[in-house]
Amino acid sequence: MVRFVNLTLAGITSGAVFAAVALALVLIWRATRIVNFAQGGMLMFTTFLAWSVIDHGGSYWLALGTALASGLVLGAVLERVVVRPVESKPPLNAVIVTLGLYVLLQAAAGMIWGDTPHSYPPAFTIRGLSVAGERLLLSPFDLFVIGAVAAVMVALTLLFVRTDLGLRLRAAAFAPEIARLQGVRVGRMLTLGWALAALVGSLAGVLVAPSVFVGPAQFDAMLVFGFTAAVIGGLDSPAGAVVGGLLLGCALSYVSGYVSSDLVTFGALAALITVLMVRPNGLFAASAGRRV
């Protein structure tokens, strides 16, 4: 029983990070119908920037701020400069461009910081908390991870649902031409959408860095797991991304704990295939006939 609780707790922690990556992918998919394959590279790059801050003696919080701010800027710049020209083109163009961006970011990071992974400090201790004499697989840092992701989710939800800017963002994502006819500057909304997505991705990068280390190829699995979580939730649904991330995190934790840690990636694939067979549009997809 303790083992089950522990595996669940570990699953929720890693699931929170998957959820953040999934959310970054969903935000961009909703707005531009592009699967951002560069997301893994983008969060790797901003995490490296954060690592540089720490390496030069900066505090954890300054490094986190740097990652988030550079994520915002990187997302906006990439959308404006690289992605904008392919937004109205066939989907394959965007796939190639984002894949190319990923390769470019990875190569650039290798040139700047080298290929050897660096360790990254956690914000708080990673020693598990003790409850009634039992050591749990839940540390203060894990709580921080879950809390940080939850805080960002709540903030984004409030932004989208409660503010006029959020209404503009949603309108631009659902119906760009109609939104323009209402005076929404859709181009700006897309840039902002990419910036927000990259910010969420950057957060995920910094949060996962202590366990995967910081290197050009260290975050590749994050994109795979994040994408799986997003598809499980239905690529269109931010809430689905969160639930998909948590489900995937727990499922992988059980696979790793009860079966074998070598089978984690296989478990992700099995989860993906199962969901696609049972609910091809994901768990949270709106009914197919919604566009009239």
Partner 1 sequence: MLEVRGLVAGYGAVRALGGVDMSVAEGSVTAVLGANGAGKTTLLRTVSGLLRPRSGSVELDGRDLTRAPVEEIVRLGVAHVPQSGGVITELTVRDNLRLGGLWRRDRAGLARRVAEMYELFPPLAERRDRLAATLSGGERQMLALARALTGGPRLLLVDEPSLGLAPKVVASLMAVLRRLCDEDGRTVLLVEQNARSALSVADRAVVLDLGSVVASEPAATLAADDRLRHAYLGF
Q: Which is nearer to partner 1, 169 or 223 (CB)?
A: 169
Looking only at the bridges linking them, the beta strands covering 130-131 and 134-135 are: antiparallel
Shortest distance (Å) from residue 226 CB to partner 1:
24
Q: Which is nearer to partner 1, 90 or 133 (CB)?
A: 90
Q: How many CA atoms within 13 Å lie on the side-chain side of 84?
A: 14
Q: Segment near partner 1 (CB under 8 A), from 7-15, 121-129, 207-215, 283-291? A: 283-291
The count of other CB atoms within 10 Å of the CB of residue 4 is: 11
Q: Which is nearer to partner 1, 118 or 170 (CB)?
A: 170
Contact residues for 150 (Cβ-Cβ < 8 A; gap 6+): 16
Q: Segment near partner 1 (CB under 8 A), from 80-88, 116-124, 163-171, 204-212? A: 163-171
Shortest distance (Å) from residue 168 CB to partner 1:
7
Residue-wise burial string across 76-96, b where 16 or more C-beta atoms lie within 10 A, e elsewhere: bebbbebbeebbeeeeeebee
Helix and strand tally (H, E) in the chain? Answer: 11, 2
Using CB under 8 A as the binding rule, whether residue 262 contacts partner 1 is answered as no
Shortest distance (Å) from residue 279 CB to partner 1:
20
Radius of gyration of the chain measured on its C-alpha atoms:
19
Question: Which uninterrupted H or E stretch holds 135?
Answer: strand 134-135
Q: Which is nearer to partner 1, 172 or 264 (CB)?
A: 172
Using CB under 8 A as the binding rule, whether residue 171 contacts partner 1 is answered as yes
Residues at the contact surface with partner 1, assessed by CB under 8 A: 164, 167-168, 170-171, 174-175, 177-186, 286, 290-292
